[in-house]
Amino acid sequence: MTRKSRRMYIIVVAFALLASATALVLTAFEDNLVYFYSPTDLKTKQVTVGRSLRLGGLVEEGTFVKLEDGLSIRFSITDGAESVPVSYKGILPDLFREGQGVITEGSLNEKGDFIAHEVLAKHDENYMPAEVIEALKATGEWRGDEEGQTTK
Amino acid sequence: MIAELGQFALIMALLAAISQSILPLIGAERLDSRLMAFGSHASLVQLLFVILAFGCLTQAYIVSDFTLLNVAENSHSTKPLLYKISGVWGNHEGSMLLWVLILAVFGAAVAAFGRNLPVTLKARVLAIQAMIGVGFLTFLIFTSNPFTRLLVPPENGQDLNPLLQDPGLAFHPPMLYVGYVGFSVAFSFAIAALIEGKVDAAWARWVRPWTLTAWIFLTGGIALGSWWAYYELGWGGWWFWDPVENVSFMPWLMGTALLHSAVVVEKRNSLKVWTILLAILTFSLSLIGTFIVRSGLLTSVHAFAVNPERGIFILILLAIAIGGSLTLFAIKAPALKSGGIFSPISREGGLLLNNLLLSTACATVFLGTLYPLFMEALGGGRVSIGPPFYNKTFIPVMVPLFFLVCIGAYLPWKRADLVGVLKRLKYAGLAALLALLIAWYISDGGPLLAILGLGMAAWMLLGTLSEWADRIKLFRVPLAKSWQRAKNLPGSSWGMTLAHGGLAIAIIGMISTTAWKVEDVAVLKPGETISVAGTDYRFDGVREITGPNYSAVEATFNVSQDGEYMTTLKPEKRLYTVKRMPTTEAAIYSTFIGDYYAVIGDQDGKGGWTVRIYREPLVTWIWFGCTLMVFGGLLSLADRRLRVGAPAEKRKKKKVREAEV
């Protein structure tokens, strides 16, 4: 095997790998990009029922309800302009409370309710998800400083 | 006064680094031995000053000196001593100082252990190492000074994020950093070789131990981080494909490729250009990792601050380091002479395929991690990419690699007979098939992909063992003789067997716990029992306890199987008093075949408590496998052959050999 044919072999294998990886990535992107929506986005944009997405905003004051089984939870997420009812079953993150910024992942059902299968745990109470800040700024509800630290 | 001393030490270290990055380079160009020797002295001076600075900051933390902004923001006088010390690097400024410290340690280590390096190469390596130091020290001094004083010091500090107050996390960042920064040595060697225009077997022999050291620590650091996530976050998960995890995983993938390609340079004087490129890319990914996390581009517990000034500084540093080195590579690499030729089916060919697969896998992780950032920068909206993406991209690329691991280990250099190799692997193949059937039987059907995955991991493990058994002629010669052969196996060979076997074991753990994890959530009143995967958990109520800087509710679970008592689990729900931040402390009972994992949640106001129980089959195998990999790396590092290569050493070796005889 000469140097030239070795180089050809390497290039062919590398390209084959690159091509298959690109194909994998492109098909995976198709289904697995999870877009972020604010409650306003959700009301104004067309969203397919059942498509996985992220919904973020503030947990609306006075909407948090625990159902009879002690595990199912309902609350609303608001960005000041619109509000979307969310239902979730499971343990909430330690830092979850009303008025707090939150991101949930799940999908819309036919009635326009958001069924969350995950409520994202944030690791720090001062921390406000950047997506939520942006959504709040869009509706003029943002009251923190520029850097995303609400208190301190 | 001590803080000012630290500040002064940092500036002195910067001055040392600046002179170290210029003078030895000039010396190497002019063949001036005094200028070249300056590099070694400067690297020691730099190290001493950085140690001094680090010591000053540590002292400020230990005595809780709240006149320092950094201490006031991240510490508290009631915090246990261990976390006062780990608090030093539990924040942006301190972690950058730790980075600089490790960089200086590596630089000084090259100066101290590299006595038999060619003088020009050594001078250049130290100069490049110092340039990285200059970049980081300027960053530290001008944008992230840990010694900033407060005009009005507070009475007490704001405490460290409670999630970071954990022994696992006290050591996770330093280990990860030794890994990241360790790759700087391979990088400096690569750049120095490009300047010299020479890469040979000796070069690879010098680079390999440094790369291996970095790899060992990075492996350990990642494993420790995932273990922490498993027991501390209370979700029973050990890997989330979180961007912050990914940025530590990418240099690991590239570093693993680099380790393997350096072998080809050393043994066969081939793949040189590729190895240089890998060294540059590995360290570039380490830099990107450090900076992405620290700049707050990706928001998580690891992102300490969002600060535009730092962000721009970081971008400039990245552009200089990565852009500069790749430009130098483009100019100089074509001049490197390529070495020995080989057939596609050969050990070189196998290692090359390993490299291509690892880099492709790394590229998929890179895309998944950074795509949301690009998308946002281009105004495409906020998106996130979760585990399903990686399951469909990363895993399909890695599966062929796992299949080929044990075949590759059998291939001889230059050209190989694939059919012959497969024949020698037939028992391993049959045993793996048997393992697959057993897995299928035990799991009673179960998810097909997971069972196939287990078969693949068994093939990998058994194939690796079979290669080892062949080497020591197990069962073909008397056992005593095999034992003799095993003792004489070089460390690097043991290292390979352990690392590959460890990886297989870790994969078995990953697949089992992902596929057969059982999870249940319920509201229980004291005295009630919940049954999860055949095990009964009796809830015996809660009591209040107080720790040094938190108060907590501790629940008691009596765990039993078929009426037979197994263990008592005591999960806690803590409230850290200073930050008013609640955390969850899971209680875990680990066994060889799986973990019993209990978490206590909220009270429902009617006497019941939310509890969450997980059964995680074989989960500890993940960390056991990682430990084996680390151990394999250490054995390989201890291999005497790695340290041989220069005339001075040969003489010493002769003496050793005589002594051994």
* Across A8-28, average pLDDT: 85
Residue B267 scores a pLDDT above 60:
yes
Instruction: Classify B516 as helix, strand or coil.
Output: helix
Copy the structure tokens of residue B569: 């689990």
Q: Which residues in chain B have Cβ-Cβ distances shorter than 8 Å to A14?
A: 356
C-beta atoms surrounding B622 within 10 Å: 25
B645 in Cβ contact with B515 (< 8 Å): no
In which band, very low, low, confident or very high, does the pLDDT at A152 lie, cut at 50, 70 and 90? very low
Copy the structure tokens of residue A112: 């326009």
Copy the structure tokens of residue B185: 């040595």
Of the candidates B163, B385, B584, which has its C-beta nearest A33's C-beta? B385
Copy the structure tokens of residue B221: 């650091």
Rounded distance between C-alpha atoms, residue B637 and residue B642, angstroms:
7
β-sheet bridge partners, residue B141: none
Residue B557 scores a pLDDT above 70:
yes
Rounded distance between C-alpha atoms, residue B500 and residue B505, angstroms:
9
Copy the structure tokens of residue B438: 């057993």
CB contact under 8 A, A24 and B393: yes
DSSP 8-state class, residue A122: P
CB contact under 8 A, A33 and B383: yes
Q: Which residues in chain B have Cβ-Cβ distances shorter than 8 Å to A69?
A: 523
Residue B508 scores a pLDDT above 90:
yes
Res A122: pLDDT: 54
Min CA distance, A149 vs chain B (Å)?
A: 9
Cβ-based neighbours of B554, under 8 Å, separated by 6 or more: B542, B543, B544, B545, B570, B571, B572
Per the listing, tokens 């059998």 go with B410
Res A148: pLDDT: 39
Rounded distance between C-alpha atoms, residue B262 and residue B275, angstroms:
6
Tell me the backbone φ, ψ of residue B600, rounded to 5 degrees.
-105, 135
Residue in B242, B233, B213, B247 with CA at minimum distance from that of residue B169: B233
Rounded distance between C-alpha atoms, residue B635 and residue B216, angstroms:
11
Residue B297 scores a pLDDT above 70:
no
In which band, very low, low, confident or very high, does the pLDDT at B298 lie, cut at 50, 70 and 90? low
Rounded distance between C-alpha atoms, residue B377 and residue B396, angstroms:
29
B617 in Cβ contact with B512 (< 8 Å): yes
Nearest CA in chain B to A3: B341
Residue B300 scores a pLDDT above 50:
no
- Plot region of A78 (φ>0 → left; ψ -120 to 50 → alpha; else → beta): beta
Rounded distance between C-alpha atoms, residue A38 and residue A131, angstroms:
8
Rounded distance between C-alpha atoms, residue B144 and residue B63, angstroms:
22
Which of A33, A69, A73, A103 best tests the B interface by mutation, with the highest count of B CBs <10 A?
A33
Res A128: pLDDT: 60
Model pLDDT for residues A50-91, shown as the tens digit of each residue: 888 888 888 888 888 888 777 788 999 888 888 899 999 877
CA B577 to chain centre: 33
Copy the structure tokens of residue B277: 């490129």
Report which listed range, A66-70, A144-148, B184-188, B548-552, is most confident: B184-188
Model pLDDT for residues B93-148, shown as the tens digit of each residue: 899 999 999 999 999 999 999 888 899 999 999 999 999 999 999 999 998 899 99
Q: Which helix (H) or strand (E) holds B373?
A: helix B347-377
Res B430: pLDDT: 93
Rounded distance between C-alpha atoms, residue B296 and residue B308, angstroms:
10
Q: Which helix (H) or strand (E) holds B582?
A: strand B581-585
CB contact under 8 A, A3 and B341: yes
Residue B294 scores a pLDDT above 70:
no
Rounded distance between C-alpha atoms, residue A38 and residue B430, angstroms:
55
CB contact under 8 A, A13 and B161: no
Distances (CA, A) of B599 to A135, B214, B525: 34, 36, 15
Rounded distance between C-alpha atoms, residue B93 and residue B53, angstroms:
12
| Residue-wise burial string across B624-643, b where 16 or more C-beta atoms lie within 10 A, e elsewhere | bbbbbbbbbbebbbebeebb
Min CA distance, A95 vs chain B (Å)?
A: 7
pTM of the predicted model, to two decimals?
0.90
DSSP annotation string for B473-500: TTTTS-HHHHHHHHHHS-HHHHHHHHHH
Rounded distance between C-alpha atoms, residue B251 and residue B187, angstroms:
12
Per the listing, tokens 């992909």 go with B449
Q: Which residues in chain B have Cβ-Cβ distances shorter than 8 Å to A138?
A: none
A27 in Cβ contact with B389 (< 8 Å): no
B215 in Cβ contact with B631 (< 8 Å): no
Q: Which helix (H) or strand (E) holds B521?
A: strand B518-524
Res B303: pLDDT: 41
Q: Which residues in chain A have Cβ-Cβ distances shorter than 8 Å to B386?
A: 32, 34, 105
Min CA distance, B281 vs chain A (Å)?
A: 17
Percentage of chain B lying above the pLDDT 90 cut: 57
Rounded distance between C-alpha atoms, residue B130 and residue B133, angstroms:
5
CB contact under 8 A, B384 and A125: no
Cβ-based neighbours of B96, under 8 Å, separated by 6 or more: B136, B139, B140, B144, B146, B294
Both ends of chain B: CA-CA distance in Å? Answer: 59
Rounded distance between C-alpha atoms, residue B16 and residue B561, angstroms:
65
Nearest CA in chain B to A11: B356
Res B510: pLDDT: 95
Cβ-based neighbours of B166, under 8 Å, separated by 6 or more: B228, B232
Distances (CA, A) of B267 to B275, B340, B444: 13, 10, 48
β-sheet bridge partners, residue B574: B552, B583
Both ends of chain A: CA-CA distance in Å? Answer: 68
Of the candidates A10, A31, A91, which has its C-beta nearest B352's C-beta? A10
CB contact under 8 A, B341 and A28: no
In which band, very low, low, confident or very high, does the pLDDT at A143 lie, cut at 50, 70 and 90? low
Model pLDDT for residues A88-106, shown as the tens digit of each residue: 987 777 777 787 788 888 8
Helices B308-318 and B272-295 meet at what angle, rounded to 10? 180
Res B363: pLDDT: 93
* Across B592-598, average pLDDT: 94
Cβ-based neighbours of A126, under 8 Å, separated by 6 or more: A149, A150, A151, A152
Min CA distance, A110 vs chain B (Å)?
A: 23
Res A98: pLDDT: 80
Rounded distance between C-alpha atoms, residue B486 and residue B196, angstroms:
41
Model pLDDT for residues B333-344, shown as the tens digit of each residue: 888 877 777 888
* Across B640-654, average pLDDT: 50
Res B138: pLDDT: 94
CB contact under 8 A, B360 and A9: no
Report which listed range, B55-59, B69-73, B83-87, B293-297, is most confident: B55-59
Q: Which residues in chain A have Cβ-Cβ distances shorter than 8 Å to B612?
A: 91
Min CA distance, A40 vs chain B (Å)?
A: 14
Q: Which helix (H) or strand (E) holds B546?
A: strand B535-546
Per the listing, tokens 């940025």 go with B247
Copy the structure tokens of residue B270: 């081939």
ipTM over cut 0.85: no
Rounded distance between C-alpha atoms, residue A22 and residue A30, angstroms:
12
Res A67: pLDDT: 82
| Residue-wise burial string across A16-52, b where 16 or more C-beta atoms lie within 10 A, e elsewhere | ebeeebeebbeebbeebbbbbbbbbbbeeeebeeeeb
Mean pLDDT value across chain B: 88
